Structure 1
Amino acid sequence: MTEHAHELAFGGFLTPTAAQPEQVVALAALCEQAGLDLVTFQDHPYQPGFLDTWTLMAYVAAATERIGLAGNVLNLPLRQPVVLARSIASLDLLTGGRVELGLGAGAFWDAIEAVGGRRLSPGAAVTALDEAIGIIREIWDTDRRGMVRVEGEHYRVVGAKRGPAPAHPVGIWVGAYKPRMLRLVGRAADGWLPSLSYLPKGPDELPAMNALVDEGARAAGRDPDAIRRMLNVTGAFTRSSTGFLAGPPQQWVEELAGLTLEHRITTFILGSDEPRAIQIFAQEVAPAVRELVAAERTTPGSGARAVAEEQATTGGPATLAVTPTPDPGVRLSTRSPWDESTRPTAPPPPADQVYPARGQAVGQHLVDVHDHLRQELAQVRDLLAQVTRGAVTPEGARAALNQMTMRQNNWTLGAYCAAYCTMVTQHHGLEDASIFPHLRRSDAGLAAVLDRLEEEHVVIHGVVEDVDRALVELIRQPGDFTALQEAVDLLTDTLLSHLSYEERQIVEPLARHGFYPGQL
């Protein structure tokens, strides 16, 4: 195993479809909500069916708070290096250091030439990329004196001023497959970003390609392990295995961990526009890959599966260290979809119960997932308050403008709610399909509790549908927020009550009986 300093990172690779711009933004928000580190977008400026990637990145940056952003990869032949350098630095400054530069030498030359770009041979495209990286780094290097002057074969800069400098050391990640490009990555870039689907032999091609990156780095006097190895991945989450990255989450965990341990891949970017796949990848696969890789690095040679099995049987403290989140006890709505006094309770654990460290982690993971839902619910309520304030504008002269702003806010809120409500529904679906059957098999005394939780999932689905209907009605007839406010209040009451009840009843059984987090 090769040691390196890069922490594992996980991201999303979204299609910038122009026909559904609000959906693209909602998916980007979902990537952040679900816990991904990065959201990326393909860049084809000649494609009229796509949003402009740079404009989209700027919009998504304003609509998010934490997640990193990058093109995957930006089309260099149609983006001038000095302007690109300043655009990246500007957005990085505006976002507090959340932007990276994914860069490509160009492809689809007929389309590039059709919109005014220069057609380059493969060799010339590599040279142009090399020159562009040098220019970009010069523009960012505000510690040096003097103007930037580059007399290249493809780019000529004759006295450009330096700056601005980015807020953080922006990584330059290059999409590369051929030997000369791979050596360029090692010599001049910070990361290598290929797509697994473009490798005819799949992961079997990675050793030879990694070796060429290493060769380029050594020739330039660089440490090969300083270059982050990244990978765009696609696949399917299914109940049974049908191939590489086509199977249950646990299979993904083992296969991605293997790519890290065997091929030094430390960033995985999922190419999918499916909300369910994004959530599974972020909340189930990513944490388990991190855990298995960390365990393997601590105990080399044990293998991911062996480490997982060992941890599952390791003893832990007798006291359960995971604390269920209490019900806030406040009810915002006058309606209630269920009688909380009729909720059954789980039987007490055995008096001499010892909780394995692995089991404790499983119980905590459920609380962590619920915390994501609670945080996003708070954001939904905050967005609703902003929309409501924007809708109450008495100035008749600004009536049309107010209506336009209100409509935009409604759609933004609708897209956000759609992504959030999808996440709630998918989380409940995973529980019903995987976690609850496991607990039923492990402890017959939990049957009544699990029945009630499944019933409440159905009720919550109906409450979510009420929010959707209220949003549709508000967009159709703007101005009256009463129904939407009531629907969101009821969702708040039911969801917070349910999450707290669920944690009180099944966190302890999960810690006692265990459940592999790659399936959670």
Structure 2
Amino acid sequence: MTDYGHDLLFGVILTPDAHTPTGALDLAVLADEAGLDLVTVPDHPYRPDYLEAWTLLTAIATRTTSIRVLPNVANLALRPPALLARAAATLDLLSGGRVELGLGAGGYADAIADEGGPRRTPGESLDALSEAVTVIRGLLTPGQPVNFDGVHHHLRDARPGPAHPHPIGLWLGTVGPRALRLTGRIADGWLPSATRIPPHALADANRVIDDAATAAGRRPADIRRLYNLPGLSGDVSSQLAALTLEHGTGGFLFFVDSPAQIRALATTVAPRTRDLVAEARAQNPPNRERAR
């Protein structure tokens, strides 16, 4: 059993349907008013039936007051990392420190190529993701100009900024063993989907991340574990508590499409899950050498 001891986060994944352009925005406002922690939207820039993710997140941030916003996950094949870093810093500044970054290597190779993006092999995409994290971290970290000469990304005397209020987390949506090792080495968080990493596979995946983190001189608990889950159906508090206590999952994001689901998550599922986890931790506190 592995509990990394993180405070629990609860949030939603909203469909950015271009046919009902204010739908996702209205649900995001409700999630904020209900007291949820995170609102996310998928990033598929090649889909004309979807609103563009970063524009929508900006609109959400301007209409909300406390909920954090992030792409789930940003398609780095179509988003130059230097520009993404500037955009994230800008929105973090404008929103009072409410931006995180979910990052992905970029699937759907044909659609990406059709939009003018690079056609990369899976291995090349993972290398590009690793380089992108270096670029983004460099431009989000105050200090001297950044130089970086990678295969896929480059910086020359690039000055960090704009200055932003809080450290923006880089949460990677990774699946395979090599990608999981990369997460352990460099990421602030892991953001898989249950459709790709089902609950029974979490233990093995976490073990790969933990071993890589330890080998890199990091604590496993330095990587927050989140989980994208299907639409909410009933009270799943006990199942979520088990995921936290057994696999260290510290954040849960649900695909939702109705106000009722958002209210149920905020008023029933989230508080009950927190209570169950608090009760268990009182009996068996997390190992603070691994968790914080």
TM-score after normalising by structure 2: 0.95
Equivalent residues in 2 for 1:242-257 (5 A)?
248-249=234-235, 252-257=236-241
Structure 1: distance between partners of 2:34 and 2:141: 35
Identity %: 47
Structure 1: distance between partners of 2:91 and 2:73: 17
Pick from 137, 151, 166 the counterpart of residue 153 of structure 1.
Answer: 151
Per the alignment, residue 274 of structure 1 pairs with: 258
- Give 1:262 deviation, angstroms: 0.3
Per the alignment, residue 447 of structure 1 pairs with: none
Secondary structure of the residue that 2:195 maps to in structure 1? helix
CA offsets, 1:344-369, max 9 Å, x none? xxxxxxxxxxxxxxxxxxxxxxxxxx
Per the alignment, residue 76 of structure 1 pairs with: 76
Per the alignment, residue 178 of structure 1 pairs with: 176
Per the alignment, residue 120 of structure 1 pairs with: 120
Per the alignment, residue 197 of structure 1 pairs with: 195
Say whether residues 1:54 and 2:38 are aligned partners.
no
Could you tell me whether the CA contact under 8 Å between 2:27 and 2:259 is conserved in 1? yes
Structure 2: distance between partners of 1:27 and 1:235: 14
Could you tell me whether the CA contact under 8 Å between 1:70 and 1:100 is conserved in 2? yes
Say whether residues 1:166 and 2:179 are aligned partners.
no
Could you tell me whether the CA contact under 8 Å between 1:270 and 1:278 is conserved in 2? no
TM-score after normalising by structure 1: 0.54
Secondary structure of the residue that 2:264 maps to in structure 1? helix
Structure 1: distance between partners of 2:224 and 2:8: 10
CA offsets, 1:269-317, max 9 Å, x none? 011112211211111000000011001000139xxxxxxxxxxxxxxxx
Secondary structure of the residue that 2:39 maps to in structure 1? strand
Structure 2: distance between partners of 1:205 and 1:33: 34
Could you tell me whether the CA contact under 8 Å between 2:5 and 2:248 is conserved in 1? no
- Give 1:165 deviation, angstroms: 3.0
Secondary structure of the residue that 2:117 maps to in structure 1? coil
Equivalent residues in 2 for 1:13-412 (5 A)?
13-142=13-142, 144-145=143-144, 147-199=145-197, 202-237=198-233, 248-249=234-235, 252-300=236-284
Could you tell me whether the CA contact under 8 Å between 2:232 and 2:256 is conserved in 1? no
Could you tell me whether the CA contact under 8 Å between 2:3 and 2:247 is conserved in 1? no
CA offsets, 1:475-519, max 9 Å, x none? xxxxxxxxxxxxxxxxxxxxxxxxxxxxxxxxxxxxxxxxxxxxx
Per the alignment, residue 384 of structure 1 pairs with: none
**Aligned residue pair count:** 285
Stretch moving more, 218-227 or 108-117: 218-227
Stretch moving more, 266-275 or 155-164: 155-164
CA offsets, 1:105-155, max 9 Å, x none? 00001000001000111111111011110111111121x32x211110111
Structure 1: distance between partners of 2:28 and 2:191: 20
Structure 1: distance between partners of 2:196 and 2:260: 24
Gaps of 5+ in 2: 286-292
User: Higher relative contact order at CA 8 Å, sep ≥6: structure 1 or structure 2?
Assistant: 2
Structure 2: distance between partners of 1:15 and 1:95: 22
Could you tell me whether the CA contact under 8 Å between 1:75 and 1:106 is conserved in 2? yes
Could you tell me whether the CA contact under 8 Å between 1:43 and 1:73 is conserved in 2? yes
Structure 2: distance between partners of 1:56 and 1:86: 17
**Over 3 Å off, 4+ runs:** none
Gaps of 5+ in 1: 238-247, 302-520
Higher helix share: 1
- Give 1:5 deviation, angstroms: 4.0
Could you tell me which amino acid in structure 1 is paired with residue 280 of structure 2?
A: E
CA RMSD in angstroms, aligned pairs only: 1.2
CA offsets, 1:12-32, max 9 Å, x none? 000001111111111111111
Could you tell me whether the CA contact under 8 Å between 1:100 and 1:171 is conserved in 2? yes
- Give 1:236 deviation, angstroms: 4.6
Secondary structure of the residue that 1:277 maps to in structure 2? helix
- Give 1:161 deviation, angstroms: 1.6
Secondary structure of the residue that 2:13 maps to in structure 1? strand
